[in-house]
Chains A and B, each alone.
Chain A
Amino acid sequence: MNLHARFCAHLGDFALEVEFQVPARGVTALFGPSGCGKTSLLRAIAGLNRVADGYFAIGGDVWQDAARFRPVHQRPIGYVFQEASLFPHLNVSGNLVYGAPKRFDPNAIRFNEVVDLLGLGKLLDRSPRHLSGGERQRVAIGRALLSQPKLLLMDEPLSGLDKLTKDEILPFLERLHETLSLPVLYVSHDMSEIERLADQLVLMQSGRVLAAGPISQLQSDPELPLVSSPDAAVSLDATVDAHDPSDGMTSLVVPGGRFLVPSAGALAGERRRLRILAGDVSLAREPPNRSTILNILRARIISAQETGDHQMTAVLGLGDDGLGARLLTRVTRRSWNNLGLAPGVTVYAQVKSVALVRRRGAAISERANVPALATRHA
């Protein structure tokens, strides 16, 4: 099932000309600098901005094309705005059920489940006035979920919140992602949020889509600007192989390699997401012996480019053949030349630090398009 969007619109002197197609599952992040048209695109998908020259379809269900335009209230969406925008004349319960269908549906996302998932139990009788910013945003997310959407649209839901509140909400979003098989379009200009949440990425710049695809693929694409950004990194979805409680190390497998990462515990077969900064990966031509660095992996240089002042950023493919998962590395040009590095050369990538950014990786199974809650809870 795919999600296919194409919109051409001129808003003042800003031109939005986008087209992309991504699988309609998991979290798809719309990422780009402020003012690149992410929000306009999301509003167009919702039908809030009426774009005459537009096409949108999800799994064959066409919401608009040249001849048709389905108004907002007939699109099966949930929309979370940047500001929670709760109805001030209703209490939390009233807000939550405002969009809930009256008819009983056994597959529906249930009220109690949403309340549990988002930790809203103590807030139900309160007025939105007496909620903190983070609580408000959680209620807004719950309200959108209970309208039983087939697509959840989130417009920078965390950007108006301070760091602490963000950290309070992100785990809820992760749980949402783990327990619901609801496709999400998530607008953000904050790469760290996206690295935690997103499976696919739509990369935007001045009203256009530069690329769309799996996040790790776009992060390590030398043609795209992500590679040369100061905090270039890759996100890898890994499978837990084993956990050694004696020293707290978890062994995780990615295509073409294996990582040892300290963690609180994990069961074999579980999915985790790893984040590795380009600056944390150094290169050696020979296998280093007696190093404190735990993660030293065989890899092949796929491509390289000069970034910034006398720096080289290279894309590595793990494994002898370089066909495994991709890493980024950033080294000085002097080291690069001293070691005689070039695309095609086999190297040892020394990974100084690996971050576990998500307790679980992307859901592996796709459960059709029924937005029902899984019974399994974290």
Chain B
Amino acid sequence: MLGLTAEIWQPVRLTLQLALLTTVILILMGAPLAFWLARSRWRWKEVVGALVAIPLVLPPTVLGFYLLVALGPHGPGGWLASLWGGRTLAFSFPGLVFGSVLFSMPFVVQPIRNAFEAMGDRPLEVAATLRASPWRAFWTVAVPLARPGFLTGAILGFAHTVGEFGVVLMIGGNIPGETNVLSIAIFDYVETSQWAQANLLAGGMVVFSFCAILAMMLIEKRIGGTAS
């Protein structure tokens, strides 16, 4: 049993690392992007909005295919990798992070954008009349008021990255400790008829997902109810 735990621990840890890193990057990148999408009066901004949303409708294998090309030795990813003596970004952890960020972006950006839009112009106008610079108004008014959107975005981005399969399969492969994430590990176990391991991982995923979502919902409810 101990051996079994050690064996499945690696994909679990890798998956959590990937999901956490992806979520953090997406929140940092997604917040300004969502703010811009919500507030800009540029008439073509929805083109950018559509580009961000494309992974919602695109088959993961299509995105994975293009990522493979882009990250491979003959794409920009390969050029980037050559800077530190590598050959390709495909089949590597950084490549996986890059793909996950692109693929999960709409799940993070959309809820945050909705929250910024629901807030309306008024709070920022009030902040400006109180001498707050746009930068200060963003951090002290817009971000706190959009908090539910951030929380929803973080949950969705994290869960979506944990559950991602198609893109990882295309650009990651299953290098242990590098790209062998949970969903791939489960697939491998099933393929090789290691039902016990598959069961443990799959069951763990169910329990983990349920707990994460429940915890987030409870936290948000408590914050929302007692915020002063």
Contact = CB atoms under 8 A, between A and B. Distances in A.
B227 A73 contact: no
A163 B125 CA distance: 28
Interface in A28-69: 46, 48
Interface stretch (B13-21, B101-109, B129-137, B174-182): B129-137
B122 A99 contact: no
A89 B130 contact: no
A12 interface: no
A72 B125 contact: yes
Nearest to A88: B145
B144 interface: yes
A335 interface: no
A73 B126 contact: no
Contacts of B227: 88-89, 127
Given A89-B227, A91-B228, A127-B228, A143 B130 contact: yes
A26 to B, nearest CB: 21
Contacts, number: 64
B59 interface: no
B80 to A, nearest CB: 40
A201 interface: no
Interface in B140-174: 140-141, 144-145, 147
B128 interface: yes
Interface in A64-92: 71-74, 76-79, 81, 83, 85, 87-91
Contacts of B126: 79, 81, 85, 87
B76 interface: no
Contacts of A89: 144-145, 147, 227
A125 B228 contact: yes
A78 B131 CA distance: 9
A147 B128 contact: no
A81 B144 contact: no
Taking residues whose C-beta sits less than 8 angstroms from the other chain, chain B's interface range is 20 to 34
A124 to B, nearest CB: 11
A73 B134 contact: yes
A46 B129 contact: yes
**Which one of B122, B127, B130, B140 has the highest number of Cβ atoms from chain A below 10 Å of its Cβ?**
B130
Given A72-B125, A79-B126, A81-B122, A87 B141 contact: yes
Contacts of B125: 48, 72, 79, 81
A316 interface: no
A48 B129 CA distance: 9
B129 A72 contact: yes
Contact of A73 (B132, B141, B145, B147): B132
Nearest to B227: A89
B228 A99 contact: no
A125 to B, nearest CB: 7
Contacts of B134: 73
A264 to B, nearest CB: 38
A99 B127 CA distance: 8
Nearest to B132: A73
Given A73-B134, A85-B123, A144 B129 contact: yes
B145 A99 contact: no
A74 to B, nearest CB: 8
Interface of A: 46, 48, 71-74, 76-79, 81, 83, 85, 87-91, 94, 98-99, 101, 125-127, 143-144, 147, 153
24 contacts: A72-B128, A73-B128, A73-B129, A73-B130, A73-B132, A73-B133, A73-B137, A74-B131, A77-B129, A87-B123, A88-B227, A89-B145, A89-B147, A90-B228, A91-B228, A98-B132, A99-B130, A99-B131, A101-B131, A125-B228, A144-B129, A144-B130, A147-B130, A153-B129
Given A72-B128, A89-B144, A98-B140, 8 more contacts: A72-B125, A73-B131, A73-B132, A73-B133, A81-B125, A101-B131, A126-B228, A153-B129
Interface of B: 122-123, 125-134, 137, 140-141, 144-145, 147, 227-228
